[in-house]
Amino acid sequence: MKIFIHIDHFSTYVGNGGFIVLTNLANELGKMGYDVYLFDPRDKLNYKMLDWLSLPEVNFKITKTKDVLTSNPNDYRLITAWLRTLPYQFRNENLRYLESSELIRKARMAEIGYLLKYNIKVANLHSHLNHYYINIGLKNIIALDVWIRSDVKFRGERFKINNCIGIQLEARRDKIARLLSKVGIKLYKWDRYTRFRRMPIIICNGKYREVIDKMNRSDFFIHNPQPSPHITIFKGETFGLPLFEAMACGCICIARKHEGIKFLEGKIPLVKNMDEALEMLNYLMSNKEEKEEIRTRSISFIEENYRFNEERKKAIERWLE
């Protein structure tokens, strides 16, 4: 069976997390025997755009929207995580999906109807929304959550730089991050991580493999999400892929608490602000036993909840029937 995965690379809904999760899904589907294609409604997607992902393998192809439209609907399944940017050609009167301001954008008060073809599968990136989707009649849905790639893992304490702190600047500051790394990784006062400027810092920016290598050298990881001003954090959004990746790499993670990651309470330290983060950091640096307990608990949590295991594969197969 052919699987077409819709990615709108210009959309604010995509983000790095969307690319990582969906290319991970595409690769896994390819290994399961499906004929997998990625497509972008504007036909701008190309393999070079995926270089930064440092994919260990590529089990999918990139195709044009017209190839999807001219395919027999009975011979394929279409997966989308972003209904708002789905091309109008894929909408009809068979199914309606409603999105309200309660979910994502308070600024968008009106409910927006989506008319979808029967063979479209909605890959929900946030399991918190499943109950809502089911209540409004959207049955062909699965929660992707965060599937961490198998090559993102803890390599052992010998790779860690003791008490070194990993941070990740916003994507638009990548250029600045590279410049900082050339001058001894000095942070500017305007940066929201300025409280840690006198500590050993690793800026975990760059291509995906570079990010993971840096996380594997970081002993701690400070997660201080700052989404676009156009995005309101709601209970289904975590802005947390770097956080989960750092946990998988064995970092002692300290995160600013918000609605999307409350479920991590008791697994990693959650703080109200960066002043509390600094206090927690100093405390854990002087309490090695508790520090190592958090590391072990974090790695176990990722292995139990965020790996593409046999149970998930079976769920995917049922979903695609």
Parse the chain into domains and list their residue ranges.
Answer: 2-147+307-320, 157-305
Q: Tell me which of 148 and 176 has the higher pLDDT.
A: 148
Q: What is the pLDDT of residues 136-147, one digit of tens each?
A: 455 566 665 567
Kind and range of the H or E run holding 256? strand 252-256
Q: With 70 as the cut, is the pLDDT of residue 63 above it?
A: yes
Whole-angstrom Cα distance, residue 270 to residue 21?
Answer: 24
Out of 163-177, 284-298, 300-314, the most confident range is 284-298
Asked whether the whole model's pTM tops 0.85, one would answer no
Sequence-ordered list of residues with C-beta below 8 angstroms from that of 213, at least 6 positions apart, any chain: none
Read off the pLDDT band of 82 (50, 70, 90).
Answer: low
Common-topology check for domains 2-147+307-320 and 157-305: yes
CATH class entry, domain 157-305? alpha beta
Q: What is the pLDDT of residues 197-219, one digit of tens each?
A: 778 999 888 888 999 999 999 99
Read off the pLDDT band of 267 (50, 70, 90).
Answer: very high
Polymer length of the chain: 321
Long-range contacts for 176-180 (Cβ within 8 Å, ≥24 apart)?
Answer: 177/203, 177/205, 177/206, 178/205, 178/206
Q: Is-contact 86 116, C-beta < 8 A?
A: yes
Read off the pLDDT band of 130 (50, 70, 90).
Answer: low
Q: With 60 as the cut, is the pLDDT of residue 233 above it?
A: no
Q: Tell me which of 284 and 192 has the higher pLDDT.
A: 284
Q: With 50 as the cut, is the pLDDT of residue 232 above it?
A: no
Amino acid at 143: A
Maximum C-alpha span of the chain:
63
Q: With 50 as the cut, is the pLDDT of residue 52 above it?
A: yes
Whole-angstrom Cα distance, residue 81 to residue 76?
Answer: 17
Question: Residue 112 has what pLDDT?
Answer: 39
Q: Give CATH for domain 2-147+307-320.
A: 3.40.50
Read off the pLDDT band of 29 (50, 70, 90).
Answer: very high
Whole-angstrom Cα distance, residue 204 to residue 176?
Answer: 12
Read off the pLDDT band of 292 (50, 70, 90).
Answer: very high
Question: Residue 197 has what pLDDT?
Answer: 75
Q: With 80 as the cut, is the pLDDT of residue 269 above it?
A: yes
Q: Tell me which of 73 and 269 has the higher pLDDT.
A: 269
